[in-house]
Structure 1
């Protein structure tokens, strides 16, 4: 199947798209779907901010990780499915609309999940998203024999696990974490089991672009969070040199992480090593969750300049340093199989990550500002070193420029 030309048709057979289709980019519908995930991510990040400001950051991390898993897993399944089977007909669009509605219901239930441990609305929203995904897989199964077994395995597996999520609401509270771990593991296992009947289609460069765009969304949330922190600091104490310095460092950290991200040859990796796709895709849960948490850390760090938080300066510094460390380590690890001596190698990324992890201790003599300056300095130095290494490894041209 070549470029999609079915817009406006009432229904088309859901044949797999070509995995080497030229010029494949994100569709307008995919970008619209991403906006609904922006809302959900903003909600979970906001709750993490509340936890940090109240001095209960550790208690907020667990519900954050659980709710973010639902958001990430729904987005990832939508993304990989669309890469292989986006027909853009009316049925596809309406089922996508249902998934968008599910995201918004989940987002509405985030405060209750964090505040009272009530995951009812989150589960309902998740069920709506997953139910629409099952319908999409059934369309693939009905379209022809090529991916029928894979599609049916996905549909059956997702349905059974979703029943488990609904039944989880009936369990006592002390089984909440254990049941989540079991069901999340089953969610991750379903695509692996389905792929044994035949790998579903997907486009490597399209997937790389989609992941990059999602990373930009999360970095954009960090920018917004930093602005919120500046507003809080201004309301508390007005403009100060420390506030300007910390806000500037927050922007530098976000920009540096964006730069580092786009140095990675994700499309090349997925095209040449399709066998690594599950490891690559699953590992990005850590990357995306860390980027989402980074926004909360930056907001709290900037706000701490103008007010008094219950959390210590070291904890506030760690709220930035730990997410940045996780991003650096995991981004390097998932692209390491395609290392060619250029870009961000382990010789650069791993020492930088270790130094970033130690920066919260700068808050002891210098306050939150000192910790954030340290993170910004390390990330900036990493970008400079990575760009220099990339340029020095390129073959020089004999022709003058």
Structure 2
């Protein structure tokens, strides 16, 4: 299993994200931004579940093409990326209609079918982008479409069962990510093709006696780390855009300025923890310490959490002097606590955290936001955001001052 950045220094500076890949990432993040229509002040379990389901669909589609570009490198076909971008654009455009249909019980199934068809087409086209006979050893699920069968079946059932089948399809893909081994799959296919009887059949069927050649390919870990980090940065930037848009729609005064400033500090602090003191967009991660598959899974969770924070922050900018509704307050505090929880996981997994640091990160990063969510029921929204921003700033300060662990870790 390839580890993130587990390559010689000479190879690490050779590849960077291309302009086409950056363009592709921007379109994918536009889909994540569209999910703000799903979350709102009247957040409930149905809205949160729909958000998670649609976010995972967008992320899996993005990952399929991102890994294709990673492995293909200079042979990446820009036209394929453009087709994938169009598919992601259709998915993003249908998000508000899906949210309106499901959450407002509109009864129109067309947006759900549009989203499902775009997802199926994008995943299938992305899976066909790989070179024939190549098996991606690190993340083979992007080449297979077993998880798309429930999505295909959902086109002929009513709204409730559509969502159930979508969840089954995404769940099947997530299960395959965990249990499917590219190396074992490659060995089985090669052993099957190398069997004497099948070798003779292929020889009789081909004049030159040759048969299909199956080979394994691995991701470029340096390029992968860059793409993951850039995606997190763009998601954070999109959150800033939503805050600016919210500020532009309200009467400007010192209160709005204070709320916007606290929100910006919170997001900028997350940028510092994920990029300056992290790796591949993951807080507290150190290069070369975890497999690429684990980094991808954690990246999915981190970006999903970061994307949710923009919704309550926008509400704070619009109504900063009022307490946040209970659902929005828990969404904000819970998302911050989840972000730090993932930071604890990456810190422990990459051995960048000893016991005192882990305990400190748990108490200040996880327990403190949850206590704010529980107790700050009457606090003004901007006060709550300011407290959370101070927590993030405290983590940045400690990361700057604490000595690095191990001889290969260097703080900037």
After superposition, the Cα gap between the structure-2 partners of 1:313 and 1:190, relative to the gap in structure 1 and judged at 3 Å, is: closer
What's the CA shift for 1:333? Answer: 0.8
Pairs within 5 Å for 1:261-280: 261-262=274-275, 263-266=277-280, 272-273=288-289, 276-280=291-295
Is 1:124 matched up with 2:136? no
After superposition, the Cα gap between the structure-2 partners of 1:259 and 1:101, relative to the gap in structure 1 and judged at 3 Å, is: same
Is 1:368 matched up with 2:381? yes
Structure 2 length as normaliser, TM-score?
Answer: 0.77
Is 1:40 matched up with 2:53? no
How far apart, CA to CA, are the structure 2 residues paired with 1:320 and 1:99? 32
Pick aligned residue for 2:335 from 323, 336, 348: 323
After superposition, the Cα gap between the structure-2 partners of 1:227 and 1:58, relative to the gap in structure 1 and judged at 3 Å, is: farther
What's the CA shift for 1:218? Answer: 0.9
Is 1:250 matched up with 2:234? no
Matching residue of 1:281: 296
After superposition, the Cα gap between the structure-2 partners of 1:85 and 1:345, relative to the gap in structure 1 and judged at 3 Å, is: farther
CA RMSD for the aligned pairs? 3.1
Pairs within 5 Å for 1:5-154: 21-23=11-13, 24-48=15-39, 51-52=40-41, 55-88=42-75, 92-117=77-102, 118=109, 119-137=112-130, 139-141=131-133, 147=134
How far apart, CA to CA, are the structure 1 residues paired with 2:128 and 2:268? 39
How far apart, CA to CA, are the structure 2 residues paired with 1:254 and 1:134? 34
How far apart, CA to CA, are the structure 2 residues paired with 1:165 and 1:36? 23
Matched residue pairs, number? 356
After superposition, the Cα gap between the structure-2 partners of 1:343 and 1:27, relative to the gap in structure 1 and judged at 3 Å, is: farther
Is 1:209 matched up with 2:226? yes
Given that 1:204 and 1:270 are in contact with CA atoms closer than 8 Å, whether structure 2 keeps it comes out as no
Given that 1:219 and 1:291 are in contact with CA atoms closer than 8 Å, whether structure 2 keeps it comes out as yes
What's the CA shift for 1:205? Answer: 1.9
Structure 1 length as normaliser, TM-score?
Answer: 0.79
Matching residue of 2:350: 338
Gaps of 5+ in 2: 1-5, 103-108, 187-215
Matching residue of 1:14: none
- SS in structure 1 at match of 2:402: helix
- SS in structure 2 at match of 1:212: helix
Given that 2:334 and 2:373 are in contact with CA atoms closer than 8 Å, whether structure 1 keeps it comes out as no
Matching residue of 2:189: none
Q: Deviations over 1:299-358 (max 9, x none)?
A: 11211227x7xx954433323211111111113313422224489942332112210122
Matching residue of 1:144: none
Pairs within 5 Å for 1:288-303: 288-303=303-318
How far apart, CA to CA, are the structure 1 residues paired with 2:137 and 2:352? 35
How far apart, CA to CA, are the structure 2 residues paired with 1:251 and 1:343? 31
What's the CA shift for 1:190? Answer: 4.2
Given that 2:32 and 2:307 are in contact with CA atoms closer than 8 Å, whether structure 1 keeps it comes out as yes
Is 1:180 matched up with 2:166? yes
Matching residue of 1:221: 238
What's the CA shift for 1:33? Answer: 0.4
**Which deviates further from its counterpart, 191-200 or 28-37?**
191-200
Greater fraction of residues in helix: 1
Gaps of 5+ in 1: 1-17, 142-146, 396-401
What's the CA shift for 1:361? Answer: 4.3
